[in-house]
């Protein structure tokens, strides 16, 4: 039984009942094992440890108002994992296997799924990595696929609490024509130095510019960017950002709420004309941004500051947030068939 305090969850690791484990070897996946120990044994020569041959996903399961358990758009995560695996040149699980494993991990850890009513949920973390011993730099021929989970609350400590972020013009998250659009661990490694420096300066996230011209907004270290101007939801078009499933869902939500959607390059100067700005991603759907500080370098005292609202979530961002979360929590009809129910 879980002894977790579901009312005070952040985005952190909790030991659950099981993890799911399977290996791709000799052209096929092994039988999926439920393991109670989340320590695994792999070769010290595994390509993932040396060359970052690794990709992952993040999605959530929710306990609904009606008691039902729903997973939000796992088919999209399965497709994105396949794209990441193709980028790395490794095998990926089929969409069917991915979704089966999502359902199974939730079912086996159901006592860790937070109850309805406190904005908490079960975070599901699929991870795929090259596992055969190798010395040369090449795609792994064998890999491990695991499905992990952990109960989570709001990422930043409080859902819809506005944050301050910084543009670090002396760092890029991704290279031009590089891996920015794939969910590979290397992208996160590339963001850590700038993120650590930004956190020390009191910022919650880094907002990166496009690495080619540094004239347009790309995305944050772990979420996509959106801005609201008049009745428009505006989000960057860039080939170096992760195609966020939340952002894709928010675009639909915006249209449903009578807004227009613009996915296009967003020049940095346009930050001065948005009424609301936010981050979006699986972790909390939307985190409103209060302040964006643009610095020539993180060490510089020179800065241009853009401020939005009064520290609370803007009206349109809140409506978008509610549109998505009410489907996730079974409070509104799932008219687009986004959720998959877990039979308990």
Ligand X SMILES: Cc1ncc(COP(=O)(O)O)c(C=O)c1O
Residue 189 Cβ, how far from ligand X at the closest point, in Å? 12
Contact code string over 12-41 relative to ligand X, x by CB under 6 A: ------------------------------
Asked if 38 contacts 20 with a C-beta cutoff of 8 angstroms, the reply is no
Asked if 292 contacts 32 with a C-beta cutoff of 8 angstroms, the reply is no
Cα gap 160→7, rounded to integer Å: 16
Residue 34 Cβ, how far from ligand X at the closest point, in Å? 26
Contact between 84 and ligand X by CB under 6 A: the answer reads no
Asked if 238 contacts 211 with a C-beta cutoff of 8 angstroms, the reply is no
Q: How large is the angle between the packed helices 74-88 and 95-108, nearest 10 degrees?
A: 120
Cα gap 113→72, rounded to integer Å: 14
Residue 141 Cβ, how far from ligand X at the closest point, in Å? 28
With residue 280 as reference, give the H or E element that holds it. strand 276-281
SS3 228: strand
Site for ligand X in 188-247 (CB under 6 A): 219, 222-224, 242, 244-247
Q: Which one from 60, 103, 183, 295 is the annotated catalytic residue? A: 183
Which residue number, 131 or 235, has a Cβ lying nearer to ligand X? 235
Which residue number, 166 or 245, has a Cβ lying nearer to ligand X? 245
Torsional class of 146: left (φ above 0), alpha (ψ -120 to 50), beta (otherwise): beta
Q: Are strands 54-56 and 121-130 parallel, antiparallel or unpaired?
A: antiparallel
Active site residue 291: no
Q: How many CB atoms lie within 10 A of CB 309?
A: 17
Contact code string over 40-59 relative to ligand X, x by CB under 6 A: ------------------x-
Which residue number, 153 or 281, has a Cβ lying nearer to ligand X? 281
Cα gap 233→132, rounded to integer Å: 45
Site for ligand X in 279-318 (CB under 6 A): 281-283
Asked if 246 contacts 281 with a C-beta cutoff of 8 angstroms, the reply is yes
Residue 160 Cβ, how far from ligand X at the closest point, in Å? 16
Residue 224 Cβ, how far from ligand X at the closest point, in Å? 5
Asked if 268 contacts 213 with a C-beta cutoff of 8 angstroms, the reply is no
SS3 102: helix
Which residue number, 242 or 254, has a Cβ lying nearer to ligand X? 242
Segment lying near ligand X (by CB under 6 A), choices 88-96, 160-168, 199-207, 276-284: 276-284
Residue 196 Cβ, how far from ligand X at the closest point, in Å? 16
SS3 84: helix
Which residue number, 56 or 329, has a Cβ lying nearer to ligand X? 56
Sign of CA dihedral 145, 1, 73, 58: negative
Q: For residue 269, which phi and psi values (nearest 5 degrees)?
A: -60, -25
Which residue number, 2 or 326, has a Cβ lying nearer to ligand X? 326
Which residue number, 185 or 296, has a Cβ lying nearer to ligand X? 185
Residue 1 Cβ, how far from ligand X at the closest point, in Å? 30
Q: How large is the angle between the packed helices 245-256 and 315-328, nearest 10 degrees?
A: 110
Q: How many residues bind ligand X (CB under 6 A)?
A: 13
User: What does the binding site for ligand X look like in residue numbers (CB under 6 A)?
Assistant: 58, 219, 222-224, 242, 244-247, 281-283
List the catalytic residues. Answer: 183
């Amino acid at each position: 039984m879980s002894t977790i305090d579901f009312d005070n969850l952040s985005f952190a690791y909790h030991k659950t009942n099981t993890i799911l484990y399977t290996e791709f070897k000799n052209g096929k996946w092994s039988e999926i094992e439920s393991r109670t120990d989340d320590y695994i044994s792999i070769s010290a020569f595994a390509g993932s440890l040396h060359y970052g041959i690794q990709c992952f996903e993040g999605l959530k399961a929710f306990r609904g108002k009606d008691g039902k358990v729903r997973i939000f758009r796992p088919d999209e995560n399965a497709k994105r994992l396949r794209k990441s695996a193709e980028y790395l040149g490794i095998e990926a699980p089929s969409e069917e296997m991915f979704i089966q494993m999502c359902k199974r991990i939730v079912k086996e850890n159901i006592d860790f799924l937070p109850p309805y009513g406190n904005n908490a949920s079960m975070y599901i973390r699929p991870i795929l990595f090259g596992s055969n011993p190798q010395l040369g730099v090449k795609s792994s021929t064998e890999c491990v696929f695991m499905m992990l989970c952990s109960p989570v609350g709001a990422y930043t400590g409080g859902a819809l609490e506005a944050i301050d972020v910084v543009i670090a013009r002396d760092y890029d998250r991704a290279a031009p024509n590089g891996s920015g659009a794939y969910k590979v661990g290397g992208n996160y490694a590339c963001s850590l130095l700038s993120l650590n420096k930004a956190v020390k300066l009191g910022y919650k996230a880094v907002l990166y510019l496009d690495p080619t011209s540094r004239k347009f907004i790309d995305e944050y270290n772990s979420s996509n960017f959106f801005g609201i101007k008049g009745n428009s939801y505006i989000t960057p078009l860039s080939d170096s950002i992760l195609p966020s499933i939340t952002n894709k869902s928010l675009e639909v939500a915006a249209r449903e709420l009578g807004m227009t959607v613009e996915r296009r390059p967003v020049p940095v100067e346009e930050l001065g004309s948005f009424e609301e700005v936010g981050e979006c991603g699986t972790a909390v759907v939307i985190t409103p941004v209060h302040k964006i500080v643009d610095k020539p370098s993180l060490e510089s005292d020179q800065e241009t500051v853009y401020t939005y609202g009064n520290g609370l979530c803007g009206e349109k961002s809140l409506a978008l947030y509610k549109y998505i979360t009410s489907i996730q929590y079974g409070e509104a009809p799932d008219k687009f068939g986004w959720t998959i129910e877990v039979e308990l």
